[in-house]
Amino acid sequence: MAKKTVEDIDLRGKRVLCRVDFNVPIKDGRIGDDTRIRAALDTINYILQQEGSSLVLMSHLGRPKGKVVPDQSLKPVAARLSQLLDRDVTMAPDCVGSEVEKQAKELRAGQVLLLENLRFHKEEEANDPDFAAKLAALGEVYVNDAFGSAHRAHASTEGVAHHLPGVAGYLMEKEIRFLGGVLENPEKPFVAIIGGAKVSTKIAVLESLLAKVSSFIIGGGMAYTFLKAMGHRVGASLVEEDFIDTAKDLLQKAKQGGVEVLLPVDHLVASEFSEQAKAEYISQIDIPDGKIGMDVGRQTLARYREVIAAAKTLVWNGPLGVFEFPEFAQGTLETAKAVSQCAGTTVVGGGDSVAAVTQFGLDGTISHVSTGGGASLEYLEGKDLPGILALQNK
């Protein structure tokens, strides 16, 4: 169901309460990466361009667990946002309370107030109704542009929408459009690349996509559970014994549904799981005893490239090897290059797969790089996300 956006509601003369995702890395008061702040600028600027409107921004930062943690204050974010907007951003002393309410109500047209870290209050994650009402009192219209938190029913992502008319910002709208398009009307061939360490964390997305995809490319640690399920030797590689039957069942369903499942046919292995470990090449499917599968081999990558190149729709979530160890990052990085050259609609989500396309400077060549790791995964699993459900339908 399409959701109303900032363009579908009259914001003129309104005080807009906007949930953003400013959960950025901060060390010693300095922001390490301001990508998430810059990602919100389109929505922020659109709101401020509406005649007579003012803006109250709210976000979480880190996991302070309901306590005030000075190192997790949003003050450095207010300073950086002021620079990016080329206008003053007032930093509130808290996110609720009489002083904050006074600051919000005194905002004039074009002025911006940033609330302090929502998670300094345990009521935020508890979706406490009274806390949500206090937040809602700071605005007249609610805009949610924090897709990365949309899978959480928190006061600022779900509770507020019970008090104010709620619409999507541009980032949220883009996520819904691309991820929704992948699920609802994918052009074929539709290829899903699913990686990561464990089958248990990805089985729901595999099962959800099974009826929609033409091909699955499976890599990462989870591939060895599938290979063992097929009767192959996997040495000392990561295997979830409890999920071998699940893997067998999925392979059987894929075969019945005419879905091609591509698994590694050769490997880079090591004698120990360590960043210092040296890569050894194994040119066959079976892995010798004592060796740990760490990345896909060149024959596997060649086959993956063929399938990726032919895709009309492609979604990628999760690395294909131990991406955090440079010796075993090649499979993930080569996959990133192949995805960037795919002429179809390409959607990348999940921390390491996003890191790979960003590291290679390829993010501009992907149709959509999702900002929400857990949220994008749950969306692809076919789950209803509370932060999206709470917004008004078109």
What are the residue numbers of the active site? Answer: 36, 198, 351, 374
**Residues in Cβ contact with 177 at an 8 Å cutoff, skipping those fewer than 6 apart:** none
Conformation bin of residue 192: beta by default, left when phi > 0, alpha when psi is -120 to 50:
beta
Cβ contact 92:103 at 8 Å: yes
SS3 117: coil
> What are phi and psi for residue 224, nearest 5 degrees?
-75, -30
* Amino acid, single-letter form, for residue 122: K
Distance CA 170, CA 231 (A): 48
Distance CA 206, CA 104 (A): 45
| Helical residues (DSSP H) of the chain, grouped into ranges | 35-39, 41-49, 75-85, 98-105, 122-125, 129-136, 170-184, 199-209, 222-229, 244-256, 298-310, 330-341, 351-359, 373-380, 386-389
**Residues in Cβ contact with 123 at an 8 Å cutoff, skipping those fewer than 6 apart:** 66, 130, 131, 155
Is the previous residue joined to 64 through a cis bond, with omega within 30 degrees of 0? no
